[in-house]
Structure formats: structure tokens, C-alpha cells
Amino acid sequence: MKPSPLRDQVYEILRSIPAGKVGTYGQLARLVGRPKAARAIGMFMSTNSDAPRTPCHRVVAANGRLTGYSAGNGISTKKELLLKEGVIFKGEKVDLKQSLWQPSI
DNA sequence: AAAATGACGGTGT
DNA sequence: TACACCGCCATTT
């Protein structure tokens, strides 16, 4: 993948999300200074080559829904991973109320 | 350079 | 709660 400063920055923040917690695309977008670039952030995840290194599976939609995953068996694998890390699920969605990552304020 | 694409978010009905 | 629409952004063709 071609190097992208913004992508690298997103990955760096993504690495700071602890196991058992999840972040949202919009949240990451905001942290990199592009509050409305959630969509672009999603593209960075899809093109991620650092799967094991970057916990891209800890990123979910703002409503807690798992919108995609490039590795394993897709959403299923992503859900299993999060569940295994201790993330609380509410049906098909993540219980953001308890598992939403809260960046340093 | 312009148009199309996609792992989004918010609002309205 | 479910579905439809619009707005936004970076990457790719």
C-alpha cells in the first residue's frame, strides 16, 4: 500500500486502544483532526496490511454495529475477536455503553 | 483533472 | 426500530 501520513496517524491512535474496548470510525477521524472523515478512516482499515499489529478489529460503527472486516471470515471473525477480548455485545452490536474506548481527555 | 467508490455519521420519515 | 437520504473525506481508476 502506498504510504499515507494520515493512515499512519490513524494506525498509531488505533494501537492505543486497549483490549476489551472499541473505538468508532468517527472517533478516530476526530482524533486525527478530520471529524467528518469517518468514511475515509474505514478505507484505511480495509487497506490495512498490519492486521495483527494494528487492532483494526477494535473499530466499529458509531452505533456499535460491525460494518466490515478484511481478514478471517469477515464480520464473524471480528465479532469473535472482540468477544474474546472482553468486549460486551448487545446482540449484533457492541454495547458502547460499557465497551467504548475513552481516549485521553 | 474529474468521476466513482466505500469497514461512516447524522437526520428525517 | 427500520429504512431512506444527504453530506463528508481520502483513495483509486
For A5-63, what is each residue's pLDDT tens digit? 899 999 999 999 999 999 999 999 999 999 999 999 999 999 887 767 889 999 999 99
Let me know if residue A105 belongs to a domain: no
Show the cell assigned to A104.
Answer: 485521553
| Assigned domain for A28 exists | yes
pLDDT confidence of residue A5: 86
Nearest nucleotide (C1') to the CA of residue A63?
B9
Has residue A104 been placed in a domain?
A: no
Using the predicted structure, report yes or no on whether residue A2 has a pLDDT greater than 80: no
- In this structure, is the CB of residue A105 within 7 Å of any atom belonging to strand C? no
Average pLDDT, stretch A74-91? 94
Look at residue A79 and tell me if it is in a domain: yes
What is the total count of domains within chain A? Answer: 1
Which three-class secondary structure string do you get for chain A? CCCCHHHHHHHHHHHCCCCCCEEEHHHHHHHCCCCCCHHHHHHHHHCCCCCCCCCHHHEECCCCECCCCCCCCCHHHHHHHHHHHCCCEECCEECHHHHECCCCC
Mark A50-61 as b/e (b = at least 16 C-beta within 10 Å).
Answer: eeeebbbbbbbb
CATH, residue A49: 1.10.10.10
User: Looking at residue A3, what is its pLDDT?
Assistant: 73
As ranges, strand C nucleotides with an atom below 7 A of a protein CB are 7-12
Q: Strand B: list positions under 7 Å from protein Cβ.
A: 5-10
Domain that holds residue A82: 5-99
Establish if A80 belongs to a structural domain: yes
Nucleotide closest to residue A5 (CA–C1'): C10
In a domain, A56, yes or no: yes
Report residues 38-77 of A contacting strand C, contact meaning Cβ closer than 7 Å: 38-40, 43-44, 47
The answer to whether the C-beta of A68 is closer than 7 A to strand B is yes
pTM of the predicted structure, to 2 decimals: 0.91
Mean pLDDT confidence for A89-103: 94
- pLDDT (average), residues A66-75: 91
A23 Cβ nearer than 7 Å to chain B strand:
no
